[in-house]
Each structure stands twice: as structure tokens, then as C-alpha cells.
């Protein structure tokens, strides 16, 4: 079996994709073979010894590409392919309370997949740009007039990816 890690992402405006790219880069720095792909383009998990899935949260729900990814790959993910999940994210204060609330949203979404046993779950800060809002969100004053923000903490993201590298290494070695 090929010892590759898949980093898949479900992103509308690109901020989750950028986080996935940084995670892939960090895993490669740890001598791991990594493939980076949009979640919607992944048709099989064959050939991957571990998966990292990143998803944006929109209106209390995980990005639809991530939900579909989990449904589509249930068999592989319940047959020993370890899965780590990260999701963004907080765009307001970035304080502990906001992170906890977002973690609650994420846990509720993951509870839709009772068979899921992620080896790691992480909430990542999000990025918000009112100028890039799409219909119908660009019509909502509370969103339109919200200031831009970028709460992605790159040091924390790289640190999480480094701990993942150590955690996923055994899955690679034994595959
Ligand atoms: C219309 C809209 C709704 C959002 N809803 C949520 C939400 O329910 N929970 C959350 O944590 N973040 C929410 N966010 C923040 C996004 O998750 C954040 O902007 C993220 O970085 C977007 O990822 P992307 O650039 O990969 O699409 C929302 C953002 C927008 C624009």
C-alpha cells in the first residue's frame, strides 16, 4: 500500500484551502508524503494511509463538500484509515468563548456521523471579507457591515500539523 496522507478541504472563499495548504506543507517538512485535494474531487481513499479533512462552517453547518466526503467515504473511514478534522471558524472576537461555541457547532455536525472516530479535531480561526459575500448573504446588513477579519493563527496551525505528523506516523509505518 502507498504511504500517503490525503489533505482534503471544503472551502468556498479559499481561507480553509490556504490552511489546508499550510498543513500539507508542514506534514511534508516532517518527511511525509502528502496529497492535497478539494474534498469534492476525492472519489476513493484507496492508497492513502491517513486523511486530514478541513472544512469551513457556514450557517452552523459544515461545508456541504465535507458532509458529502464523510458520507461517501464511510467504508474506508470505518475500516482503519485514520481521520483528523479541522474546521473554521471564528471570525468575531477570536476569544475562548467564540472558539468553544464554534466547537459545539462542529461537534453537532460531526454527530450526524455516529460511526466517526476522528483521531484529532481542531477549530481554526476563520477569515471574513464583506466584499466577497455572495447572494443572499450580501443582502444581510449585519454581514455586509461587519468589518473584515482574519483570525487564522498560523503558528497554532503549524503546531497542530506537527502534532498530527507524529500522531499519523505510525499509520504510515504500518501500512
Ligand atoms: C455567510 C457566512 C456564514 C458563516 N457562518 C458561520 C457559522 O455558522 N459558524 C462559524 O463558525 N463560522 C461561520 N462563518 C465564518 C466562515 O466559516 C469563515 O469565514 C471561513 O473562514 C470561511 O472559509 P472559506 O474561506 O474556506 O470558505 C460564516 C461566514 C459567512 C460569510
- Determine which residue's CA is closest to atom 23 belonging to ligand 1: 56
- Mean pLDDT for the stretch of residues 105-117: 98
Checking if the pLDDT of 139 tops 50, the result is yes
* Cβ-Cβ contacts under 8 Å for 94 (sequence gap 6 or more): 125, 149, 151
pTM listed for this prediction: 0.95
Q: Is the CB of 174 under 6 A from ligand 1?
A: no
Q: Is the CB of 108 under 6 A from ligand 1?
A: no
Instruction: Look at the block and give the residue holding cell 485535494.
Output: 37
- Mean pLDDT for the stretch of residues 103-117: 98
Give the model confidence (pLDDT) of 155-171 as tens digits. Answer: 999 999 999 999 987 66
- Determine which residue's CA is closest to atom 28 belonging to ligand 1: 58
- Mean pLDDT for the stretch of residues 51-58: 98
Cα separation, 113 vs 30, in Å, equals 31
Q: Which residues pair with 86 in a beta bridge?
A: 54, 122
**What pLDDT shows up at residue 170?**
66
DSSP 97-137: HHHHHHHHHHHHHHTT-TT---SEEEE---EE-GGGPPTTG
Q: Could you tell me what percent of the chain has a pLDDT over 90?
A: 89
- Mean pLDDT for the stretch of residues 46-68: 97
Checking if the pLDDT of 137 tops 60, the result is yes
**What pLDDT shows up at residue 172?**
65
Q: Which of 16, 58, 97, 137 to mutate to test the pocket of ligand 1 (most atoms within 8 A of CB)?
A: 58
Q: Is the CB of 15 under 6 A from ligand 1?
A: yes
**What pLDDT shows up at residue 1?**
45
1 CA to centre of ligand 1 in angstroms: 37
Instruction: Look at the block and give the residue holding cell 473511514.
Output: 77
**What pLDDT shows up at residue 153?**
97
Give the model confidence (pLDDT) of 13-41 as tens digits. Answer: 999 999 999 999 999 999 999 999 999 99
Mean pLDDT of the chain: 94
112 CA to centre of ligand 1 in angstroms: 20
30 CA to centre of ligand 1 in angstroms: 30
Checking if the pLDDT of 143 tops 60, the result is yes
Closest atom of ligand 1 relative to the 57 alpha carbon: 17
Checking if the pLDDT of 116 tops 80, the result is yes
Q: Is the CB of 89 under 6 A from ligand 1?
A: yes
Q: Is the CB of 57 under 6 A from ligand 1?
A: yes
Amino acid at each position: 500500500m502507498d504511504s500517503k496522507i490525503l489533505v482534503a478541504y471544503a472551502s468556498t472563499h479559499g481561507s480553509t484551502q490556504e490552511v489546508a495548504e499550510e498543513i500539507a506543507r508542514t506534514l511534508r517538512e516532517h518527511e511525509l508524503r502528502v496529497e492535497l485535494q478539494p474534498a469534492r474531487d476525492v472519489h476513493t481513499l484507496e492508497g492513502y494511509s491517513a486523511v486530514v479533512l478541513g472544512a469551513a462552517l457556514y450557517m452552523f453547518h459544515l461545508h456541504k463538500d465535507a458532509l458529502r466526503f464523510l458520507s461517501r467515504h464511510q467504508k474506508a473511514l470505518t475500516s482503519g484509515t485514520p481521520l483528523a478534522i479541522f474546521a473554521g471558524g471564528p471570525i468575531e472576537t477570536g476569544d475562548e468563548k467564540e472558539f468553544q461555541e464554534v466547537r459545539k457547532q462542529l461537534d453537532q455536525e460531526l454527530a450526524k456521523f455516529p460511526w466517526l472516530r476522528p483521531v484529532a479535531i481542531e477549530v481554526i480561526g476563520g477569515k471574513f471579507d464583506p466584499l466577497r459575500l455572495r447572494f443572499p448573504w450580501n443582502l444581510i446588513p449585519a454581514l455586509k457591515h461587519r468589518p473584515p477579519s482574519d483570525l487564522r493563527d498560523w503558528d497554532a496551525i503549524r503546531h497542530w500539523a506537527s502534532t498530527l505528523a507524529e500522531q499519523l506516523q505510525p499509520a504510515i509505518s504500518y501500512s
